[in-house]
Amino acid sequence: MTPIYEPWDVARGGEIIAQHSHLEGATLVILHALQETFGYVPEPAIPMLASALNLSRAEVHGVFTFYHDFRRAPAGKHVLKLCRAEACQAAGGDALAARAEAKLGIAIGNTTADDLTTLEPIYCLGLCATAPSAMLDGRVVGRLDAARIDALVAEAQR
Amino acid sequence: MTMRIFVPRDAGAVAVGADEVALGLRLAAAKRGAEIEIVRTGSRGLYWLEPMIEVATPNGRVAFGPVTEFDAGSVLDAMISDSAHPLRLGITDDIDWLKRQTRLTFARCGVIDPRSVEDYTAHDGYKGLARALELGTEAILAEVTASGLRGRGGAGFPTGIKWKTVAQTGADRKYIVCNADEGDSGTFADRMIMEGDPLVVIEGMTIAGIAVGATKGFIYIRSEYPHAVAAMNAAISAARRAGYLGPRIGKSSHRFDLEVRVGAGAYVCGEETSLLESLEGRRGIVRAKPPLPAHKGLFGKPTVINNVLSFAAIPFILAGGAKAYAGFGTGRSRGTMPVQLAGNVRHGGLFEVAFGITLGELVDDIGGGTLSGRPVRAVQVGGPLGAYFPRALFDTPFDYEAFAARDGLIGHGGIVVFDDSVDLSKQARFAMEFCAIESCGKCTPCRIGSTRGVETIDKIRAGERVAENIAVVEDLCNTMKFGSLCALGGFTPYPVLSALKHFREDFGPAPTRLQAAE
In 3D space, the residue among B228, B266, B52, B181 whose CA is nearest the CA of residue A140 turns out to be: B228
pLDDT tens digit string along B452-511? Answer: 999 999 999 999 999 999 999 999 999 999 999 999 999 999 999 999 999 999 998 765
DSSP A1-23: -----PPP-HHHHHHHHHHHTTS
Query: Residue B219's Cα: distance from chain center in Å?
Result: 15
CA distance to partner chain A, nearest, from residue B60 (Å): 27
A92 and A129 assigned to the same domain? yes
- How far apart, in whole angstroms, are the C-alpha atoms of residue B363 and residue B392? 13
Quick one: how many helices (H) and strands (E) in chain B?
22, 16
What is the average pLDDT score of chain B? 96
* Residue A72 located in a structural domain: no
Mean pLDDT of A18-44: 97
Residue of A66, A65, A85, A95 whose CA lies nearest to A126: A85
Rounded CA-CA distance A149/B4 in Å is 35
Q: CA–CA separation, B310 vs B294, rounded Å?
A: 16
The answer to whether B409 contacts chain A (CB < 8 Å) is no
Query: What percentage of chain B exceeds 90 in pLDDT?
Result: 96
User: What gap in Å lies between CA A92 and CA A107, rounded to an integer?
Assistant: 18
Do A142 and B15 make contact, defined as CB atoms within 8 angstroms?
yes
Is the model's pLDDT at B48 over the cut of 60?
yes
pLDDT tens-place string over residues B223-244: 999 999 999 999 999 999 999 9
Domains and CATH numbers, chain B: 3-99 (3.40.30.10), 117-326 (3.40.50.11540), 329-419 (3.10.20.600), 424-517 (1.20.1440.230)
Displacement of CA A94 from its chain's centroid (Å): 20
Residues A91 and A140 grouped into a single domain: yes
Q: What is the pLDDT of residue B509?
A: 79
Query: For A87, which of B186, B264, B430 is closest by C-beta distance?
Result: B186
B contacts of A29 (beta carbons < 8 Å): 261-262, 281
Residues A83 and A152 in one domain: yes
* Interface contact flag, B280 A123, Cβ < 8 Å: no
CA B398 to mean position of chain CA atoms = 15
Kindly state the average pLDDT of the residues B413-423.
96
Q: Does A111 score more than 80 pLDDT?
A: yes
Is the Cβ pair B416, A90 closer than 8 Å? yes
- Please provide the DSSP assignment of B430-455 as one string: HHHHHHHHH--SSSHHHHHHHHHHHH
Q: Which amino acid is at B152?
A: R
User: Looking at beta carbons, which residues of chain B come within 8 Å of A90?
Assistant: 342-344, 416-419, 422
Whether residue A31 lies inside any domain: the answer is yes
Residues B301, B150: contact at Cβ < 8 Å?
Answer: no
Within-domain flag for A3 = no
Output the pLDDT for position B512: 58
List the CATH number of the domain containing A103. Answer: 3.40.30.10
* Count of beta carbons in the 10 Å neighbourhood of residue B408: 23
Q: What is the pLDDT of residue A53?
A: 97
Q: Could you tell me which chain B residue has the CA closest to the CA of A59? A: B282
Asked if the Cβ–Cβ distance from B11 to A26 is below 8 Å, we say: no
- Same domain, residue pair A122 and A144: yes
User: A89: distance to nearest CA of chain B, Å?
Assistant: 8
**β-strands B3-8, B36-41 pairing:** parallel
Strand positions, DSSP E, B235-294: 257-262
Kindly state the percentage of chain B with pLDDT values over 70.
98
Q: How many whole angstroms separate alpha carbon B254 and alpha carbon B133?
A: 9
Residue B416 · residue A131 · CB < 8 Å: no
> What's the predicted TM-score (pTM) here?
0.96
Give the mean pLDDT of B173-188: 96
> Which of A86, A135, A148 is the best residue to mutate to test the B interface, defined by the most B CB atoms within 10 Å of its own CB?
A86
Largest pairwise CA distance in chain B: 75
Phi-psi region of B4 (alpha: psi -120 to 50; beta: other; left: phi over 0): beta
Query: Is position A136 within any domain?
Result: yes
Q: Which of residues 274-293 of B touch A (CB under 8 A)?
A: 278-285
Band (pLDDT 50/70/90 cuts) for residue A1 is: low
Q: How does B59-98 read in b/e, with b if 16+ C-beta sit within 10 Å?
A: eebbbbbbbebebbbebbebbeeeeebebebeebeebebb
Identify the pLDDT of residue A16: 98
Angle at B374 between CA B373 and CA B375, to 5 degrees: 120
* B278 vs A28, A59, A123: nearest CB: A28
Query: What is the mean pLDDT of the segment spanning B148-152?
Result: 94
* A52 occurs within a structural domain: yes
Average pLDDT over residues B165-183: 96
Say whether both A98 and A119 belong to one domain: yes
User: Is residue A116 exposed (0-12), middle (13-18) or buried (19+ Cβ within 10 Å)?
Assistant: middle
Say if residue A91 is in the same domain as residue A143. yes
Contact indicator for A158, A120 with CB cutoff of 8 Å: no
Mean pLDDT, chain A, integer: 96
Q: Do A49 and A85 fall into the same domain?
A: no
- Domain shared by A53 and A25, yes or no: yes
pLDDT of residue B515: 57
Cite the DSSP H helix spans in A21-56. Answer: 27-38, 45-53
Are B15 and B59 in contact by the 8 Å Cβ rule? The answer is no
Burial B210-224 (b: 16+ CB within 10 A, else e): bbbbbbbbbbbbbbb
**Residues in chain A within 8 Å Cβ distance of B183:** 123-124
C-beta atoms of B224 and A32 within 8 A: no
- Interval B43-49 mean pLDDT: 98
- H/E run at residue B351: strand B349-354
Sequence letter at residue B303 = T
Looking at the structure, do residues A91 and A145 belong to the same domain, yes or no? yes
- Phi, psi (deg, nearest 5) at residue B420: -75, 5
**Cis (ω within 30 of 0) for the bond into B290?**
yes
What pairing do the DSSP bridges indicate for beta strands A134-136 and B3-8? unpaired
pLDDT score at B154: 84
Looking at residue B51, its amino acid is P
- Quick one: DSSP state of residue B418? E
Is A102 in the same domain as A126? yes
The C-alpha angle with vertex A150 and arms to A146 and A156, in degrees rounded to 5, equals 145
Q: A40 to chain B nearest CA, in Å? A: 13
Same domain, A109 and A144: yes
Residue A44 lies in a domain: yes
Q: What are phi and psi of B290, to 5 degrees?
A: -70, 170
Pairing of strands B3-8, B53-57: antiparallel
Of A25, A29, A91, the CB nearest to B344: A91
The tens digit of pLDDT for each residue in B320-368 reads 999 999 999 999 999 999 999 999 999 999 999 999 999 999 999 999 9
Which pLDDT does position B67 carry in this prediction? 98
* Per-window interface: B 413-452 vs A, CB < 8 A: 414, 416-419, 422, 427, 430, 434, 438, 440
Inter-chain residue contact A143 with B15, CB threshold 8 Å: yes
Question: Does A94 lie in the same domain as A35?
Answer: no
B388 neighbors B425 (Cβ within 8 angstroms): no
B437 Cβ contact list (under 8 Å, min separation 6): B267
Residue B518 has pLDDT above 90, yes or no: no
> What is the β-pairing status of strands A139-141 and B53-57?
unpaired
Q: Give the number of domains in chain A.
A: 2
Within 8 A of B384 by CB-CB distance, chain A residues are: 85-86
Does the beta-carbon distance from A128 to B262 stay under 8 Å?
no
Calculated CA dihedral for residues B115, B117, B122, B123, nearest 10 degrees: 60
Neighbours of B32 (CB within 10 A): 13
A1 occurs within a structural domain: no
B371 touches chain A (CB under 8 A): yes
> What element of type H or E holds B231?
helix B226-241
CA of A103 to nearest chain B CA: how many angstroms apart? 22
Domain of residue A36: give its range: 10-66
pLDDT score, position B59 = 95
Beta strands per DSSP E along B198-255? 216-221
**What's the rounded mean pLDDT across residues B204-221?**
98
**Tell me: the pLDDT tens digits for B243-301?**
999 999 989 999 999 999 999 999 999 999 999 999 999 999 999 999 999 999 999 99
Interface touch B417/A90, C-beta < 8 Å: yes
Smallest CA–CA distance from B193 into chain A, residue:
A126
